[in-house]
Structure 1
């Protein structure tokens, strides 16, 4: 196990609002409204994908990278979900979505469009993208899994959700669609 703290209790309920940010509470409000079950683990800050490995073992899911990207003009924004064991190759993805010269988007755009900060990137941040400025890209291998993991817009908790709940309930409710990609 890593040297950061993971609460060994797996919760199936929202946390009390005490000490939680509003953006995290909004995630639990959404999950309750859509009647989506989840498993939650609380832990210290997980700033990197490597720090998430122990959490994913406890949740019995395959680790998933969440990358916030943009084109060179910073006019198109993308949220990419991909398996944690795959290497991200910008040229490969850029060819598939017809957007050359992709790069990681600056933090201010992440906060503006998704109300999240670096290290907390999550598909659930799309609930804050009311103007649909961010296109969701999901590697086909993620879509094949029964479950996936993500943060509730803050990197001190992790959630295990059914992939079908994301595709069939959450995304339609928040008016986002998936563009499936195939990364090597």
Structure 2
């Protein structure tokens, strides 16, 4: 049974994690998130749930305004074959969330080793990052090192990365219809 948002928040409270919780209408894109949550202090994020040609899954968290060239990004992730967005069914199956609620915290619902978690180095250096706690109607402002520790303890080590220089064609920006935002 996957963690619910309330389960996750209770677990964080039990650990003594300090995080600010913000309730808001559902946000499914970066633009909607900024409209409702843009004034929350901390770095805002965009999250991608990707799969490669061998059906390996990657949960990637970037700055909200980052642009990604999927072809160049394959090497960063160690992906084999082309990268594509995972289906909504794969989101539910592997992360226990719906589109719009993706964040690295969703890895708590994945089998250890079943999803590789990557967080952009610039976010790991921020004082706080803003993430959905498994639903698109809440945003949690939390210290990045806390996220890394929680995921590591649950068997989901985080790999930091720096975006490669962008080529051209398969660039993903903040308004893509198939992106899973957070």
Please give the per-residue CA displacement for 1:55-74, whole angstroms capped at 9, x wherever unaligned.
4432112211111000123x
Structure with more contact order per residue of length (Cα contacts < 8 Å, sep ≥ 6)? 2
Q: Confirm or deny that 1:124 pairs with 2:72.
A: no
- Superposition pairs for residues 1-184 of structure 1, below 5 Å? 23-73=4-54, 75-99=55-79, 100-168=81-149, 170-183=150-163, 184=165
In the alignment, the residues of structure 2 paired with residue 104 and residue 121 of structure 1 have an alpha-carbon distance, to the nearest angstrom, of: 12
> 5+ unaligned residues in a row in structure 1: which ranges?
1-20
In the alignment, the residues of structure 2 paired with residue 149 and residue 167 of structure 1 have an alpha-carbon distance, to the nearest angstrom, of: 14
In the alignment, the residues of structure 2 paired with residue 63 and residue 106 of structure 1 have an alpha-carbon distance, to the nearest angstrom, of: 24
> 5+ unaligned residues in a row in structure 2: which ranges?
166-182
Count of residues in correspondence between the two structures: 162
Is the 8 Å Cα contact of residues 41 and 55 (structure 1) preserved in structure 2?
no
SS at match of 1:59: coil
Give the structure-1-normalised TM-score. Answer: 0.82
Give the structure-2-normalised TM-score. Answer: 0.83
Regions of 4+ moved over 2 Å: 54-58
CA RMSD of aligned residues (A): 1.7
